[in-house]
Structure 1
Amino acid sequence: MTHKSGFVSIVGRPNVGKSTLMNALVGEKLSIITPKPQTTRHRIIGIVNEDDYQIVFSDTPGIIEDPGYKLQELMNSFVESALEDSDLLLFMTQPNEVYAEDAPIIEQLKKVEIPKFLIVNKIDKSHQAQVQALIDLWQSRVKFDEALAVSALHAANTTALIQLILKYLPEGPPYYPKDQLTDRPERFFVAEIIREKIFEQFQQEIPYSTEVHVESFKETETKSGEPLIRIHAFIYVERESQKAIMLGHQGKSIKQLGAAARKALEQWLETKVFLDLHLKVREKWRKDEQQLKRFGYK
């Protein structure tokens, strides 16, 4: 029996549905999802395994056309590396999304030599003629090997997408053990889940000014002998005023955040969680290359 394997990167603008698509393809929630743009900051791998193939999907941050911080420049660099070191590329767009004829991504896509697919998302909210018009427009700009309309939210056409990918994937051994879903440790996803709840609870600049670092993650037991995971995490902000907003009156906001994050973590880890959150100020951390490295942006 032949075996196929390869790396497939998903690229596109913020909020186009890249993370939702990867979660649907992998069958697990690996990338956090919120209605706010630029939720995804890292390149996150999700692995689909069957007896005769292994597809390593890579969810990338949304393309930021005018980055204003070193953080955003690094996020764009993750997209650029995805264009260079994959076996297949999925470029994702949606109806009503407008790109200028001279948008940099168009030239980047033209230079990509690996197979590339055009993926039009959110067909559940679009008319067929609208979707076809968008496909025709993009095919006139870039020569895609395949074009497919999907609904990432409802996992519509995801099976067809897997089959299309397998047509182009090279033969080869698996890159990861067959029971592995991602290359990221548990601590990374704990921090991401806490950050997701920050995006859901807070508005304006607060979510974009925060970073979460998990200080400790210990598996222990309750007094009655039930499994318990103790998590201590720091939430970094850029200004004292942001810290005050996140703390809230008499600590109400941070307690609300902790309760929501603990509930989500217990669901994800499938065990009881003790979560201890603390706020710290790191001025201009989004512009500080050394601080970004400490936070894992490399």
Structure 2
Amino acid sequence: MTTLHDTTTTAPHDSAVATPPVLEARGLSVGYDRRAVLSDLDLRIERGTVTTFLGANGCGKSTLLKAFGRVLKPIAGEVHLDGVPIRKEPNRAVARKLAILPQSPAAPAGTSVLDLVMRGRNPHQSWARPWTAEDAGVAEEAIAATGLTEVAHRDVASLSGGQRQRAWIALVLAQRADTLLLDEPTTYLDLAHQLDVLRLVRRINRDQGSTVVMVLHDLSLAARYSDRLVVLHDGGVVADGSPVDVLTPEVLQSAFGLHARVVPDPVTGAPMVVPEADEHDVTGLAANANLG
């Protein structure tokens, strides 16, 4: 694990491994109005993994994801995609390799699930290659994979929150990109739908070998569904590694100001964060006990 206040992720030292990481930030500084949120960041995303960015509000999680997706131009440094500076790649070439799901996306009024998902095929179209039966088949497969076949012709706006989020993930799947960037895919969803979406993401990773990079807020769910956690704080990376190595009381206190215990998830064994009780929590528990 990268130690606290070390902003460099250690790369493998095996010289025989020649395959570059899927994504790599090199000396990356990124932010808004020339004001850096993250500075001089080095970070590698390895192929076929599920990596989740964590941190307090405003720490730069979504900012970093946007930089990886070429939505946000760096102030300094650069991002590499498959070993090549992403700024040098044509837009269509990037879209064939990299799919990004932003926070709270909205579909135009009157858009059906099928129409929405078909938009994921846009990077594969050109004047010489119009829409084909293959594109329709890919879209239908993506809809089936996300469990939306029965609502394929319904207006996206008429769906439940969980169904809408799965429709957007289906669009990402139809893009047939090897790497998926998902910015808070569980926001505004109840717990059952959060689990539904994260199980789907994990299945996509395992069945298709996709590389997934997510931003999440729920620490315990991130630990359950990720191979690797990257915690951002104070302009850089403060912890980076497996969930069991990263989610420690020390990191939780340093990055989140959270006093908590970390215990094994009784279902999966992954780390589960349990905030320490304060006097108000104890008072509430005592009152509930007296009511019983």
For the superposition of Structure 1 and Structure 2, which TM-score range results when normalised by the shorter chain? under 0.3
TM-score (normalizing by structure 1): 0.24
Higher relative contact order (CA closer than 8 Å, sequence separation 6+):
2
